[in-house]
Chains A and B, each alone.
Chain A
Amino acid sequence: MFLAPSLIGFAMFYLIPFAMGIYESFTDNAIGGTFVGLDNYKELLASGSFRKAASNMFLFTGISVPLLIALSLFLAILLNRPLFLRNWLRTAFILPLVVPVASIVMIWQIFFDWNGTLNAWLHHYGMARVDWLQSDGSMGVLVVMYIWKNIGYNMILFLAGLQTIPQDYYETARIEGAGRVRQLFHVTLVYLTPTMFFVLLISIINSFKVFRETYLLAGDYPYDRIYMMQHFMNNMFFSLDIQKLTAAATLMVGCIVIVVTGLLRVERRFREFME
């Protein structure tokens, strides 16, 4: 009964399109296509650019998501303590969230351009300039953009998560003689697990969104180090190759689901252990 309203709408606007999308990946044409089994997947795996996009995505997610989570958790813990100007500081970290893509793209462009500010600094110190978005360091630029934008997002979530940890747990731990570090690992992190799980997935989802900025900065065929899965899918969409697009998305979601299932299992075991 609690679930019904959500389920109806969810099925209509998400589940059905989702199922239709997956079905598309087994057919040969958008309109009146016939079932072709795994042909699209074979073609997909044969595509060098797809493999490149996949490995870039793994690399990017593997670097940026743990980094982001660590930084934002650290920040949240610090901001959860008594501080001067605490509210102002919190707001400052959240603000990048509200900056529209257009303005931030303008700023990043001026900063990272061939004639841009970063190169001007390098030049000032007598170093050769670098075409940042067309170099092997380009992924670093993406990581910076991603962390800047999302640190506030995760911080909000962690702060909310921290607040739900009953204070008496800490009391108990203190009485038992646990130090700061032990408290962090045995109380904070343990009780933050559900939040952590959520933050992890949302960070992965948000990491897909860096595509928008990347796309506006470097176009649909950027340097291959930052050619992400979203570039591949976007290009497939604009060439109307829905079959490859859906097959790629299905594979990608499949991979993430495997990871998530594992995490869920850990979470469940953890909950059972708590009870």
Chain B
Amino acid sequence: MKKLNVLPMIALTIMLGAVAAAMLIPILLTFTNSLMTEQEIGRNYDLIGQMTDVAAGGKDAFVNLKILPDWLSLEQYTQLLIFSPKYLRMFWNSAAMVVPIIAGQTVIAALASYALAKLRFWGRDKLFMLYIMTMLMPFQVTLVPNYLVVDKLGLMNHEAAIILPGIFGAFGVFMLRQFMAHIPNAYTEAAKIDGAGQWTIFSRIIIPMVKPGLAALIVLLFVDYWNMIEQPLIFLQDSAKQPLSLYLAQIDKEARGIGFAASVLYMTPLVLLFLYAESYFIEGIQLSGIKG
């Protein structure tokens, strides 16, 4: 922090800002398009997926992504909310699944990854490999065996059929193990010499040091499970138990009339949470800055 060059900083900010703006365009479009009437959407995007007849003068028919609505309208939103009062319930369903998964997976994965990263036992790396391998398997492959397991446990059509596999997911183990592998063994060795037990080492040394990893894990888990659509959701047949992701994020691509508003409604909680968590996220990182 000695020589702060303001000019390159401004240049860099502008450059990154431009890239960020470009990346935000699709999101911006989703938002502005959600404020158009269904009629306007229809008029704009009618030609998508069509082959206009050249003989009938359709040669140069094109569709442009329209940025600004002709006039602002909340029609899409009212349509969605009036015809699907389930919105609140599904929001709750999503939260009721995602929160236990995140809490559970974070705790269990932290414990397991400590063992995999810092303890020595036979077959450790092979076991870790197994964790990784299951992550790579496409869901269709394990669908039928999973069905049998869930059925055996009597969890069919119960939220636990989603939550339990979520808690034991390999992602957290993998990620935290990698972060713990960062930590030089000198730290743990020193603690051991001071007479600290494994538990103390884990809770006093390791956990504080992987805080940035934990923060990142929570954010990523949240995104993954909030967005979940395919995986084990077929084990929830009861439409009263379905999460938001099945409803708002699964609108057919032809149903553009309400699709944009649905997406905005779907994204809003996530974005708010992100903005809120961002400060924590950054703070967590600064706290853990290891001062030598």
Contacts and interface: CB of A to CB of B under 8 A. Distances in A.
Direct contact of A and B (CB under 8 A): yes
Interface of A: 1-3, 5-7, 9-10, 12-18, 20-21, 24, 30, 75, 78-79, 81-85, 87, 89-111, 113-117, 119-120, 123, 148, 151, 153, 156-157, 159-161, 163-164, 166-168, 171, 191, 194-195, 197-198, 201-202, 204-205, 208, 212, 216-217, 230, 233-234, 236-237, 242, 245-246, 249, 252-253, 256-257, 260-261, 264, 267-268, 271, 274-275
Nearest to A164: B182
Contacts of A96: 23, 26-27
Interface residues of B, number: 117
A117 B220 CA distance: 32
Nearest to A265: B125
22 contacts: A3-B116, A5-B111, A10-B170, A14-B134, A14-B169, A21-B142, A84-B10, A95-B24, A97-B223, A99-B26, A115-B48, A115-B50, A156-B220, A157-B216, A160-B216, A167-B291, A191-B182, A208-B138, A216-B253, A237-B143, A257-B132, A257-B133
A83 B168 contact: no
Interface in B33-58: 45, 47-52
B129 A95 contact: no
Contact of B16 (A17, A78, A195): A78
A237 B139 CA distance: 10
Interface in B87-134: 108-109, 111-112, 114-116, 119, 125, 129-134
B17 interface: yes
A269 to B, nearest CB: 13
B230 to A, nearest CB: 8
Contacts of B183: 164
For A102, A103, A230, A267, which residue has the most chain B Cβ atoms within 10 angstroms?
Answer: A103
Contacts of B156: none
B289 A271 contact: no
Contact of A102 (B24, B259, B289): B259
Given A6-B111, A120-B62, A171-B292, A249 B116 contact: no
Contact of B112 (A2, A93, A208): A2
Interface in B183-227: 183-186, 198, 202, 209-210, 212-213, 215-216, 219-220, 223, 226-227
B236 interface: no
Interface string B221-265: 001001101100000000000000100111111001001101110
B82 interface: no
B178 interface: yes
A100 B267 CA distance: 7
Main secondary structure of the interface of A (DSSP, over half): helix
A166 B292 contact: yes
Nearest to B44: A110
Main secondary structure of the interface of B (DSSP, over half): helix
A116 B62 contact: yes
Q: 9 closest A-B pairs (Cβ-Cβ)?
A: A168-B292, A103-B263, A9-B168, A100-B249, A17-B145, A6-B112, A92-B20, A120-B62, A20-B145
B157 interface: no
A20 to B, nearest CB: 4
Contact of B168 (A6, A104, A106): A6
Given A82-B4, A95-B274, A275-B184, A156 B144 contact: no
A117 B62 CA distance: 7
B138 A230 contact: yes
A123 B59 CA distance: 11
B185 to A, nearest CB: 6
Nearest to B62: A120
Nearest to A253: B136
Given A85-B17, A164-B209, A261-B129, A17 B63 contact: no
Interface string B137-172: 110111111101100000000000000110111100
A115 B250 contact: no
For A13, A108, A252, which residue has the most chain B Cβ atoms within 10 angstroms?
Answer: A13
Given A92-B21, A96-B23, 5 more contacts: A3-B111, A103-B260, A230-B138, A234-B140, A253-B136
A197 B260 contact: no
A151 to B, nearest CB: 8
Contacts of B112: 2-3, 5-7
A33 to B, nearest CB: 12
A197 B174 CA distance: 10
B74 interface: no
Contacts of A256: 136
For B20, B115, B140, B219, which residue has the most chain A Cβ atoms within 10 angstroms?
Answer: B140
Contacts of B51: 114
